[in-house]
């Protein structure tokens, strides 16, 4: 079975399509190859695909297991991705200042000790005119998901939680205003904000598996709502491009 036909790949495509589309102007700007740093890049779900586009990609992540999986994934796809063990707090020592044209920070701000300090460090790692691709979990959608699953106390606890890393699996969640405020505080200028996974997590997997064309139609719908402000609070994640 081709990878793109596997159920997990179909759902993954629906979950990430909006991110890839909004990254296109940054990764496909005619100035290829660029130096792309994926901080907290984990097992390389994004990094390896960016390397396949022809860019020079490095991943800094504290997890040796994730870096080993990244290495395997890169070798399987026949691309080079430089994995280095490190933490956003020591990123400048690992990479040096002004060393990246593009920084991906996807699913990481939720778990770092100090999100404002992390963004300030990333800004120093970026070259002048460089771009940050930031993907964060969005709080309002998480409240709805918890309530729909019957976890009412968790939903209530999440409602106004702006504080540190929550006990539990996922960590912090952000609202649109919180994330844009953090970016402004670190000196970034917003380029775009997209809502990601407005519907993709709500649709039963069996529907994508059984109904021909459903994944494509869902992706079209995700694209259509991703820039509509009224749908942003329902998005499981926010994707922000900033300079």
Ligand X SMILES: C[S@@+](CC[C@H](N)C(=O)[O-])C[C@H]1O[C@@H](n2cnc3c(N)ncnc32)[C@H](O)[C@@H]1O
Say whether residue 87 binds ligand X (CB under 6 A). yes
* Long-range pairs for 207-212: beta carbons < 8 A, 24 or more residues apart: 208/7, 208/10, 208/11, 208/14, 209/7, 209/10
Positive or negative CA dihedral for 44, 45, 48, 50?
negative
Say whether residue 37 binds ligand X (CB under 6 A). no
Say whether residue 174 binds ligand X (CB under 6 A). no
| Among residues 9, 20, 53, 62, the one that binds ligand X under rule CB under 6 A | 62
Identify which of residues 41 and 130 has a Cβ nearer to ligand X in the complex: 41
| Among residues 55, 61, 188, 240, the one that binds ligand X under rule CB under 6 A | 61
| Among residues 13, 51, 88, 119, the one that binds ligand X under rule CB under 6 A | 88
Least distance between ligand X and beta carbon 15 (Å): 10
Say whether residue 83 binds ligand X (CB under 6 A). no
Site for ligand X in 93-132 (CB under 6 A): 106-108, 111-112
β-sheet with 126-137: strand ranges across:
81-85, 56-61, 35-39, 100-106, 126-137, 237-242, 190-196
Say whether residue 12 binds ligand X (CB under 6 A). no
Q: How far apart are CA 65 and CA 151, in angstroms?
A: 32
Residue 186 · residue 120 · CB < 8 Å: yes
- Residues forming the site for ligand X (CB under 6 A): 39-42, 45-46, 61-63, 66, 87-88, 106-108, 111-112
């Amino acid at each position: 079975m081709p990878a793109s036909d596997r159920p997990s790949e179909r759902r993954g495509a629906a979950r990430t399509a909006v991110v890839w589309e909004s990254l296109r102007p940054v990764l496909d700007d005619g100035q290829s190859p660029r130096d792309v740093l994926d901080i907290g890049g984990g097992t390389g779900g994004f990094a390896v695909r960016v390397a396949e586009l022809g860019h020079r990609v490095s991943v800094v992540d504290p997890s040796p297991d994730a870096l080993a999986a990244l290495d395997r994934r890169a070798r399987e796809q026949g691309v080079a991705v430089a994995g280095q063990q490190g933490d956003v707090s020591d990123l400048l020592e690992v990479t040096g200042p002004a060393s990246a044209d593009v920084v991906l920070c996807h699913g990481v701000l939720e778990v770092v000790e100090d999100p404002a300090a992390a963004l300030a460090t990333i800004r120093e790692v970026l070259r002048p005119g460089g771009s940050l691709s930031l993907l964060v979990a969005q709080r309002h959608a998480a409240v709805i998901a918890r309530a729909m699953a019957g976890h009412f106390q968790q939903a209530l606890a999440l409602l106004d939680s702006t504080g540190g890393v929550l006990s539990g699996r996922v960590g912090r969640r952000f609202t649109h205003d919180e994330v844009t405020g953090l970016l402004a505080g670190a000196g970034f200028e917003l380029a775009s904000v997209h809502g990601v996974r407005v519907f993709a997590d709500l649709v039963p997997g069996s529907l994508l598996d059984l109904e021909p064309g459903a994944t494509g139609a869902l992706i079209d719908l995700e694209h259509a709502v991703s820039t509509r402000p009224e749908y942003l609070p329902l998005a499981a994640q926010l994707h922000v491009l900033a300079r």
